Amino acid sequence: MNRKIRQTLLAVGLIVGGCALFVLSASLHQKMNEPPEETPKPQRAESAAPVLTPAPELTPEPTPVPGPLIVLDPGHQAQGDDTPEPIGPGAEETKARVSDGTEGVVTGIPEYELNLTVSLLLREELEARGYRVVLTRETNEVSLSNAGRALMANELQADAFVRIHANASEDPAVRGVMTICTTAKNPYTGALYPASRALAEVLLRSLGDAVGCEEGRRTLWETDTMSGLNYSLVPACIVEMGYMSNPEEDLLLADDAYRHQIVLGLADGLDAWFDGQIE
């Protein structure tokens, strides 16, 4: 090939090549400006599906057995409610839904406040011992009737329903501990009597021992006048921790160390009741 032809071919080649590049680039340009092609959306479930790997062989651990359930009812509330409610399911006799309780003759501490403070401490102690604990109230600003509190324990199918109160008497010299349960003839909870009576007995003894209360000042009262016991379908009792109308006992009930003794006494009593160690 002579030089002239080679130059001509080169020139033609360059032109052809240039044209090809131009066409390619124009086509690409057009492609990029096209709306994206519709692609089927991936199924969410598929895209999110985890990679399945065979489960490793696990040594089965024993399922922890949940502890017994105790419902604690810190008695009363900041505002009483005089609205009458039947004292038992279907009863004609009525009683105020709930009162605001008594108060310390020296300290002026309201009973509802003391009841809640001790109940919160008792919950802590019982949970540390493996029980499950539910309080009917965790603040003083609630509106709960006595029957309603028992219905909570029923609904939760509690193993025990313990109502925390403090006592009052017109005689300021009266002091001591008390527990209250229904009678054997209670028309609403009759079948529960042996269990509730045993609970009241063991808590009275254990609480009395813990706070150093002499035998003569320990009272177990059986009555069918307490709505909060009459509606209970689980073993239930009321604990009266002491008399807020007695100046000395009122001061003791306000003392942290004394409250701690009460809590230990009640927790020991519940341990004993659940263990069936009742004499």
Which chain residues interact with Zn ion by CB under 5 A? 75, 101, 165
Nearer residue to Zn ion within complex by CB, 101 or 228? 101
Give the pair of three-digit tokens for residue 255: 């003392």
Per residue, the 3-state secondary structure of the chain, as one string, reads CCHHHHHHHHHHHHHHHHHHHHHHHHHHHHHHHCCCCCCCCCCHHHHHCCCCCCCCCCCCCCCCCCCCEEEEEECCCCCCEEEEEECCCCCCCEEEEECCCCECCCCCCEHHHHHHHHHHHHHHHHHHCCCEEEECCCCCCCCCCHHHHHHHHHHCCCCEEEEEEEECCCCCCCCCEEEEECCCCCCCCHHHHHHHHHHHHHHHHHHHHHHCCCHHHEEEEECCCCHHHHCCCCCEEEEEEEECCCHHHHHHHCCHHHHHHHHHHHHHHHHHHHHCCCC
Measured from the CB atom, the residue of 153 and 164 that comes closer to Zn ion is 164
Closest distance of CB 75 from Zn ion, Å: 4
Least distance from Zn ion to the Cβ atom of residue 240, Å: 7
Q: Compute the least distance from the CB of residue 76 to Zn ion, in Å.
A: 6
For Zn ion, give the closer residue by CB, 234 or 238.
238
> 102 or 206: whose CB is closer to Zn ion?
102
In the complex with Zn ion, the residue whose CB is nearer, 119 or 159, is: 119
Provide the minimum distance between the beta carbon of 72 and Zn ion in the complex, in angstroms, as a whole number: 14
Closer of 101 and 208 to Zn ion (Cβ): 101
Q: What is the nearest approach in angstroms of Zn ion to the Cβ of residue 227?
A: 13
Give the N- to C-terminal CA distance of the chain in Å, as an integer. Answer: 127
Minimum distance from residue 141 beta carbon to Zn ion (Å):
18
User: Please, what is the minimum distance in Å from the beta carbon of residue 113 to Zn ion?
Assistant: 12
Q: Which of residues 165 and 205 has its CB atom nearest to Zn ion in the complex? A: 165
